[in-house]
Amino acid sequence: MFSYYLKLGWLSIRRNPFLSALMIAAIAVGIGASMTIITVNYVMSGNPIPQKSDQLFYVQLDGWDPNKYDEDDFEAPDQVTYLDAMALMKADKAYRQVASNRSGLVLEPQGEGERPFSVSTRNTWADFFPMFELPFIYGSGWDDSADDNLEKVVVLGKEINERVFGGENSVGRSVRLNGMDFQIVGVMDEYLPVPRFYDVTTGAFDEPADIFIPFNIAVEYEFSRNGNTSCWKKPDGEGYEAFLNSECVWIQFWAELRSDEEKQDYMAFLNAYAEQQKELGRFPRPINNQLSDVMEWMENQEVVEDDARVMLGLSLLFLVVCLLNTVGLLLAKFLGKSADISLRRALGASRSNLFIQHMIESGLIGLGGGIFGLVLTWLGLRGIEMLFGDFIENLVGLDWVMVLTAIGLAIVSALLAGLYPTWRACRIAPASQLKIQ
């Protein structure tokens, strides 16, 4: 019977093409608007590294201001100090660990007539590349000895390699950064984690850095910091050394812990470290160290902002308005079929037969609305991209999940919109339309 009902639904849609088109358009506009926002929210709240997001933990150590301590609501700082970062790196207690921050350097191409340009830089450690599974076209990340020996090595992003070396294998060659030559050890492939989970403090949806260099080199040469720096008390003294020894937080710290046992051990280590620091006069607040896996950290940092949630609510409200219009149109359409319904009732169709028939017709209209809604969604996403530029580029992709969601949402919406008109249609008495007086 399902195929029969499908056929009847299709015939009915064809019988009133204008009315059907209006309904499909109403659903399509609602779906287009809501799916545009849903897609952005979906991408924002997606898991950027699903294969190991539950093994990567963001580390928070609470050595913050005791005067800003509220027993019921206190949060450890979202970055760590240089002192703590170095201590954790040196302890080497996790399977892998990385401290990193962002800075900006000037790259000086060696070709004639080429002008220097600034590049965004991530200062990090050797474990960064295997830990976050960065893809490489050529070479690889550097090894631990490069960190220890302050080697001037660099990993180039794909775009920089294309810009400076025309996309060739540049491994082994050097590139001049801030007046110093760095040896290229690897060239990354396209890498666009969304959100950019390993550093949400400087914008969860910014693109990854252009180049990657050892953290120790950045410190050694006092490269500028482009990220957030927060201090609850002034450094003891002037100069970079005093800053490094201060309670200012400016470094993101991640640990890779492969099991619950490793996580428990690492938390015990962090707490012991905090106790030790208390004895040294640091960490004045109660111990409040935290380990958050990737998705917990995204939630903690409210990567999906309240504005986006409000927009999502508004877009769904708009979909409801479109559906209310569809209810009216479906009501007109179904009641316009009174003679057909009455005849079918006389010929033996029960109310449940007619209910299924008309719900399937509603579903077909929803399917049409979903398909056209997808086109509008695509246009909406392109519009957002044009409006906000490159910043939003990574958020406006429409994958299969969202395509199927759009179709599913459209069909479910149409079925909901069809409930009342269908119920009314099923109430039409069998005898009411059969005789022309």
Partner 1 sequence: MLSMQNISMVYRTDLVETHALREFSLEVAEGDFVSVTGPSGSGKTTFLNIAGLLEQFTDGRYELDGRDVSGLSDADSSAVRNEKIGFIFQSFNLIPDLNLFDNVDVPLRYRGFSATERKRRIEKVLDTVGLASRMKHLPSQLSGGQQQRVAIARALAGEPRFLLADEPTGNLDSHMAMSVMELISEINRNGTTIIMVTHDPVLAEMASRNVHILDGRVSNGHEQPQLAEVATG
For partner 1, the binding residues (CB under 8 A) are: 1, 4, 11, 14-15, 339-340, 343-353, 429-431, 434-436
Residue 6 vs 403, nearer CB to partner 1: 6
List the Cα angle 181/182/187 in 5-degree steps: 140
Nearer to partner 1, 149 or 350 (CB): 350
Q: Which is nearer to partner 1, 11 or 404 (CB)?
A: 11
| Least Å from the CB of residue 189 to partner 1 | 56
Cβ-based neighbours of 74, under 8 Å, separated by 6 or more: 62, 68, 285, 288
Q: How far apart are CA 98 and CA 428, in angstroms?
A: 71
List residues bridging with 139 in a β-sheet: 186
Q: How far is the CB of 434 from partner 1 (least distance, A)?
A: 6
Nearer to partner 1, 109 or 430 (CB): 430
Please say which residue, 127 or 340, places its beta carbon nearer to partner 1.
340
Shortest approach of partner 1 to residue 374 CB, angstroms? 29
Round to whole Å and give the CA distance between 31 and 409.
8
Say if CB 33 and CB 380 are below 8 A apart: yes
Nearest-angstrom CA–CA distance, 188 and 10: 52
Residue 432 C-beta: closest distance to partner 1, Å: 9
- Least gap, CB of 431 to partner 1 (angstroms): 4
Shortest Cβ distance from residue 196 to partner 1 (Å)? 56
Shortest distance, position 437 Cβ to partner 1, whole Å: 8
Q: Is the dihedral of CA 280, 266, 196, 78 positive or negative?
A: negative
Closer to partner 1 by Cβ: residue 146 or 341: 341
Residues contacting residue 116 through CB under 8 Å, at least 6 positions apart: 106, 107, 108, 109
Residue (387 or 436) nearer to partner 1, CB: 436
Do the strands 153-156 and 249-256 form a parallel or antiparallel pair, or are they unpaired? Answer: unpaired
Instruction: Characterize 384-412 residue by residue with b for buried, 16 or more Cβ atoms within 10 angstroms of its Cβ, and e for exposed.
Output: bbeeeeeebebbbebeeebbebbbebbbe
